[in-house]
Structures are given as structure tokens and as C-alpha cells.
């Protein structure tokens, strides 16, 4: 029997556009608190409906982006590598996340002081390798440090379009040998690495990438993503996946969508180490 996916989310009680640290954020374009709550709970309910166990982090006034739990850090088995945010506006989130993970049985560690690292926003397992986005938020040298600490292979991928400032805005592993991606977010070398290392790559159009369709949550064969990506939905269907579209427009105003709003506590479905642990547990 497959292990129940465990996901950490934070209700959007204090979410809002209070500063501008990426091209999507504009303090003149406010989020609607009621609609934000409605969209967030629709995502929560969709995930629980797919069989995921969602755990909640208490929101904190003054930390509007705490809702984007994907940026908390990176989980590898029972280790939590905490993020070291590039922008001061988000650095207050770190002690909140650290306390939660320590209280829930994880060993908490940090990258060196001068190494920026924004967790599962930029570090995503696909099979045995850690795909590592860098330039806008995380540093390439930090990603190599993370790989050394975990004892895993790291494939650095330079991001070249500031609209896709985190790897999870333009790349989503589906399984150990497949992923969706927007080629325009990577340089030619990065595109060649992805083509060489991932057997099945589903390309997302520029129009649908702009609607954050790559920022998706994978639960088994279901892919939860922002509405407005019919071509990707058809492509996923041809590969045996079902798209679950939701309206998450209030969070796109801050540069995030379904994936940004979730943190897999048990490792992503596409991580080989998670699959091995699941097999061992069910043996």
C-alpha cells in the first residue's frame, strides 16, 4: 500500500502584497483576502480529497509570504535543511519554520551564513538527482554544498528569466524519469541537461507557463495546478496523468501557485529515496 502523502500548508490569514521582491509583485495590485482564503481552502480540500494528509502551520502577522511553505527548506528523510532567504522581507520566516520542524521530529540544519538557499522552491528531486535552480534566489555553490551534505548528485540549472525566479515556477518532476518544464526559463546548457537526464519531458508553452502551470503539486497520478492550461492537461492525459485545475490567481499576484503553497514532508513523489523508503516500509 502506498504511503499517505504528507503536506505542510499555512492558512493565508496574513497573506498580502506588502512588498515587491519579484516581477509579479505590485503593491498597487492588492490581493483579495476573502478570495485568497477561498482559493487556498479549495487547494487544501483538493489535496485531502486525493488522499493527502495536510498539516497546518500557524500563520504569523507580519509574514505575508509564510503561506508559501515550499520555500521553508528541503527535506531529506528525517533531515530538514532550512532556507537562507536572499531578501530580508522573508528572513523572519526561518525561525518559524525551524521551530515547526524541530517540534515534529526533524533534525534542523542550516547552510553556511553567506550561502543563499530557498529550499524546495529551487531544489527538486527527480529520481536520484537533485535538480537545483540558481541565480535569482539560490546560489550555485550552495546547491553543491547541499548535494555534498546529503550525498546526492546535483544538477545545477541556471534560471535566465526573472519571472521564473524559482525552479518550481518552470519545472515540476512527475516521477523519477519524467517531468514538465518551460524551456524558455533555462539557458541552452540547462535545457540540454534536462533532455539528457530525464527520459520523458513534457514541454509547457510560454502562454501556459505564464499562468504558473508548472507550479504544480503531484499526488500519485494527479497533478494539481492553476486553471488555464488546457494544452498541458491534454499532454498529461496522454502520459497517464490527470490534471486537477484550480483557480489560484490571488497567489499568482505574489509569484506563487499550487506548488509554492505546499511542502511535501515525506519527499516528492519523484524522489527515488522516497520511493525506496515507501517500499521498505510496506515490505
CA distance 231 to 110: 40
Tell me which DSSP letter residue 183 carries: G
Residue of 10, 166, 170, 172 with catalytic role? 166
Q: How many helices (H) and strands (E) does the chain have?
A: 9, 15
Residue of 10, 126, 214, 260 with catalytic role? 260
> What nine digits make up the cell of 38?
477561498
Known active-site residue 214:
no
> What nine digits make up the cell of 47?
489535496
Known active-site residue 172:
no
Q: How does strand 200-203 pair with strand 178-181?
A: parallel
Counting other chains too, the contacts that 75-79 makes at CB distance below 8 Å and 24 or more residues apart are 75/106, 75/120, 75/263, 75/264, 75/265, 75/266, 75/267, 76/150, 76/152, 76/267, 76/273, 77/267, 77/273, 77/277, 78/105, 78/106, 78/107, 79/106, 79/107, 79/109, 79/150
Active site residues: 166, 260
Amino acid at each position: 500500500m502506498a504511503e499517505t502523502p504528507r503536506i505542510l500548508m499555512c492558512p493565508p490569514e496574513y497573506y498580502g502584497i506588502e512588498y515587491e521582491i519579484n516581477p509579479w509583485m505590485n503593491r498597487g495590485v492588492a490581493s483579495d483576502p476573502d478570495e485568497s482564503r477561498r482559493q487556498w481552502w479549495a487547494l487544501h480540500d483538493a489535496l485531502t480529497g486525493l488522499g493527502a494528509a495536510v498539516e497546518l502551520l500557524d500563520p504569523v502577522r507580519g509574514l505575508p509570504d509564510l503561506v508559501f511553505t515550499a520555500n521553508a527548506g528541503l527535506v531529506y528523510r528525517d533531515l530538514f535543511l532550512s532556507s537562507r532567504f536572499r531578501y530580508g522581507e522573508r528572513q523572519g520566516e526561518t525561525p518559524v519554520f525551524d521551530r515547526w520542524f524541530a517540534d515534529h521530529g526533524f533534525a534542523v540544519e542550516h547552510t553556511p551564513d553567506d550561502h543563499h538557499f530557498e529550499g524546495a522552491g529551487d531544489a527538486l528531486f527527480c529520481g536520484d538527482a537533485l535538480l537545483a535552480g540558481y541565480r535569482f534566489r539560490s546560489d550555485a555553490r550552495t546547491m553543491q554544498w547541499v548535494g555534498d551534505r546529503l550525498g546526492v548528485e546535483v544538477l545545477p540549472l541556471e534560471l535566465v528569466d526573472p519571472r521564473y525566479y524559482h525552479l518550481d515556477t518552470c519545472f515540476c518532476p512527475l516521477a523519477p524519469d519524467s517531468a514538465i518544464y518551460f524551456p524558455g526559463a533555462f539557458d541552452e546548457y540547462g535545457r540540454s541537461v534536462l533532455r539528457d537526464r530525464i527520459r520523458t519531458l513534457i514541454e509547457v508553452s510560454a502562454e501556459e507557463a505564464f499562468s504558473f502551470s508548472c507550479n504544480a503539486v503531484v499526488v500519485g497520478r494527479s497533478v494539481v495546478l492553476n486553471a488555464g492550461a488546457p494544452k498541458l492537461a491534454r499532454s498529461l492525459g496522454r502520459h497517464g496523468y490527470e490534471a486537477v485545475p484550480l483557480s489560484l490567481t490571488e497567489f499568482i499576484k505574489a509569484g506563487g501557485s499550487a506548488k509554492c503553497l505546499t511542502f511535501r514532508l515525506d519527499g516528492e513523489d519523484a524522489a527515488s529515496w522516497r520511493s525506496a523508503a515507501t517500499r521498505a516500509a510496506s515490505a
